[in-house]
Structure 1
Amino acid sequence: MKVLNFALFFLFILTFSQAKTNVGIFENLAGTKDLFADDYGNIYLYKSSNFSLAKYDSLGILKAEFMLTLPFKIQSVQNPLNIPSFSENAQEVKFFDKNLAEIQTIRLQQKFGYIKAAYAEDLQQLWLLDGSSKNLIQYHFREDKILNKFPLYMDVEDVLDLIVHEKQIYLLYKDKLAVYNFRSEKVVEIPVENARKLRRENDNILIISKNVISQLEGNQLRPLFRCTDCQIVDKNSSSYFEMRDNKLYLYPLEKRWSKAQEKK
């Protein structure tokens, strides 16, 4: 079994002081384009050089890995038993299990135009952003049935990520977050620097950029975690993660404010 050349150690803080907490370090992460962490302590590393996703446990032991022939994007690992991914190049949505074995592939080009972004709402439905027809499509892939089509009257060419929740469309661009209703009426538009991806945690919409994790609250973004000199930041339900100098650091959620203030 392959083992990453890094060490994981834990330092527990027994007081509620505002001292910085450095819970652990993963080293030698050169080439990592994106990372994810599930709530079971597993770390997932995506490398664009070979279009691979590798899963490691908290000790750095490689548990599973796969490679594809075209680039792809993992939506999230919040449900590690069913991990959705989308490849704009391949025009496919794939689902993977806890061993990163492929569960299902949905080939979109056989039924739709050119899909710019996809969001798996659950294990039955997809929201598809069709760039050729400029429609938002609600697709029940288990039954191979189109449930709804909503015409879009905004720029979709440069969309990085998509979430549809509570009858609102969240579109992430490199420099902004735009929220629309199903009538294509703009609800809010907020500037974002170096945006990377969206995430939904229950009813909360998170915006993850290169250096900041923010939560949408009304018409503004509230920073939850900031690291100005980091390559990647991310989170799960218990920790924030920052990749800096090709090393991965973990911080408990309760330390977010002191950490954000320190890294400003």
Structure 2
Amino acid sequence: MLVAVDERDLAFVSHGPAQRRSFAAYWQSVHDRAIRALTTGEQVLLAPIVDFVYVRACAEAGLDPRSQAGFEAYAARAFPVSELWRFGGESAEEMLVKMRREQDAWATMSRCRKVFGEARSRFGPEAEMWAGDCSDRVLEALVEEAASVVTTSSTDEGWLTLVARMGDVTLGAYTVSVDLGGDRQAVLPRDRERFNNLLGAALLVAASGVLTLMVGAEGRVQVWELSNQRLMPSARGELLLEPHEGGGAESPVEFVPGVPLPQPV
């Protein structure tokens, strides 16, 4: 199900008499449809509209993005299941929060795909392979570090947040939950893919930014500064480019330099 998640994009999905609906009424109808489908045993998968991606796709197809034909043509596209969000019975408010985060993630991944495409055209497939190898090694090192911290903590979850910028333009931001309990997989496949895509794209364009790791609610955040294709330990908490969306530590946060991480070679 393709949905709008804010007032701005409502015009893309509402046509005919539905154009007069408020966003609140529209969203309640989306939630009601999802609940009905869930009660019949149907798997409910949602995709958020990303305005610049949607408008570009309609333009390429010669369709008006505010028309029903444009919306239906775009909604009929095959979206990767790994990118869809699965509804599990959340309230309408919780569902909206989740989908707005999904919209941000989809926009970030679209920008990353553009970076990878340009890198392939200029340097060949080796550039994307290099970026993927670098980001994967960094993620593995971060998961190992989180696991080492949890041995002295009562928690079994950590959070990684990566924010990257190209000059004054945000490339993207993404928070990954790290499951550190038992034998479960540490990072969900979709989170792993998104994190690696963002870090890989950031390395390719030599973006600036910040990476943080927090485990549980201990109030201690490890920080790395991203600059010149390097992730260097830093205690400068002011480097955070937007509020950390990971764990909810109630005590004052202490920013400390992160451990050394694998660097691109």
TM-score by length of structure 2 reads: 0.30
Structure with larger Rg: 2
RCO greater where, 1 or 2, for CA within 8 Å and sep 6 or more? 2
Give the structure with the larger strand fraction.
1
Give the structure with the larger helix fraction.
2
